[in-house]
Amino acid sequence: MALVPPSVDCVAFSSWQWVFLIHVPLAILALVFIGAGVTESRDHNAQKLDRAGILTLSFAVFGFSYLITQGADLGSGARIGVASAAVLAFAAFLVAEKISPYPMFDFSVFRIRQFSGAIMGGIGMNFSYWPFIIYLPIYFSGVLGYDSTTTGLLLLVYTLPLMLMSSTAERLRARYQARVAIPLGLLTLGVGFIAMRIGSSLEGTSWLTMLPGTLIAGIGIGLTNSPTTNTTTGSVSPDRAGMASGIDISARLITLAINIAVLGLLLTQGIASYLKTALGTALDPDELRALAEKIATGNLDGLSQYSPRLATLDPSGALAHAALVNGFGWVMLYSGIGVLALAVISFVVFGPRNVAPQEARDRHLAQGASEARS
């Protein structure tokens, strides 16, 4: 993920095909680093894949995501059916993990406070920062009117701190433990989104009013990412590190998939709410929703052709622009409040000051080996 920001900006200076091609050299480079520096961890008791767990969890996540993104187009019966199927799939996943001798998710690890607190960090990052990176270019281009090159450069402010803050984050974790480092990172991330919300609502909004929020959010993700990864794997025994990492990645990706859908829904609903308040009954509900979805893409130039009635009601395009700003306000506020709440939850879950069990054992073994050598 740390290599994503430069790749985004390379695309801004080249053709769109590089959005796919750039991943080839990055993947090769990642494989070289993995081969040189990553030690294999393995649970020798594991015998087979947990296919039931994989399938039921996949169906549950797909069902919930489909309901969020397509629920408005479904009839009430279909919505109930999709929701029921998703709930049943998730219930089946819980049962499958309970009875499986080799579960994909061993829920007993959640009794480890260090692990559970760190998982909140992974969820928090993918609740706000990573799904918003999909919508932030729309804000820079659709709301602020910047071209793709400028938008790509502005994304660096949002993403580069992820690479720059990793060493600082690990020093914080070493000195104050994960119970402080991870909630602090999430808190910083939430403050960044609140600052973006304030910056986007100011008169004469520009990249300068958005700069403090994007920079603070970037620092927050940098402070959270490395401690979260190292704490989830370090809080269990080495033979279970792979399983712990799998739960961490799954929690991140599931949160990411659902919140990409949620942010899109909030953006559209925020736009529709503003249009409904401004236009009243001038547009019927179906036309209003379709227009809100069109505005949410950030392409405001062709709206007059898409909706001739809007061209009459809003000849200058100021209303559509203000509606888009309002939608992004909803998204930023949701992301900020949500990740601040997760920062509090993470701090509570970590509990009182203590030493991560696995890290304590490792230090004890290292100390014993050192004394034996001396």
pLDDT, residue 127, reads 94
Residue 222: what pLDDT?
94
CA max distance for the chain: 86
What is the Cα–Cα distance from 86 to 231, expressed in whole angstroms? 31
Give the pLDDT confidence of 142-179 residue by residue, as tens digits: 999 998 888 888 888 888 888 889 889 999 999 999 99
> Looking at residue 365, what is its pLDDT?
44
Question: Under the phi-then-psi rule, with left for phi > 0, alpha for psi from -120 to 50, and beta for the rest, what region is 155?
Answer: alpha
Stretch(es) of the chain classified as CATH 1.20.1250.20: 113-353
pLDDT score of 374: 43
> Which stretches in the chain have pLDDT values below 50?
1-5, 355-359, 362-374
Q: How many helices (H) and strands (E) does the chain have?
A: 18, 0
The per-residue pLDDT for 16 is 60
> What is the rounded distance in angstroms from the CA atom of residue 336 to the CA atom of residue 259?
13
Q: Do the beta carbons of residue 68 and residue 267 sit within 8 Å? A: no
Residue 17 is given by DSSP the state T
Cα gap 70→66, rounded to integer Å: 6
Provide the token pair at 211. Answer: 């700069």
Measured CA to CA, the distance from residue 92 to residue 188 in angstroms comes to 37
Query: Cβ of 6: how many Cβ atoms within 10 Å?
Result: 16
Q: Which CATH architecture has domain 113-353?
A: Up-down Bundle (1.20)
DSSP state of 140: I
Q: Please name which of 201, 164, 194, 165 lies closest in space to residue 181, comparing C-alpha atoms.
A: 165
Q: Which residues contact 117 (CB under 8 A, 6 or more apart)?
A: 178, 179, 182, 183, 231, 346, 347, 349, 350, 351
CB of 154 closer than 8 Å to CB of 145: no
**Angle made by CA atoms 351, 162, 187, in degrees to the nearest 5:** 35
Over its C-alpha atoms, the chain yields an Rg (Å, rounded) of 23
Q: What is the pLDDT of residues 63-83, one digit of tens each?
A: 988 888 787 778 888 889 999
pTM beyond 0.85: no
328 residue type, one letter: F
Question: In this predicted structure, what is the pLDDT of residue 303?
Answer: 73
Q: What is the 3-state secondary structure (H, E, C) of 141-177?
A: HHHCCCCHHHHHHHHHHHHCHHHHCHHHHHHHHHHHC
Phi, psi dihedral angles at 39 (to 5 degrees): -95, 130
- Which pLDDT score is estimated for 49? 77
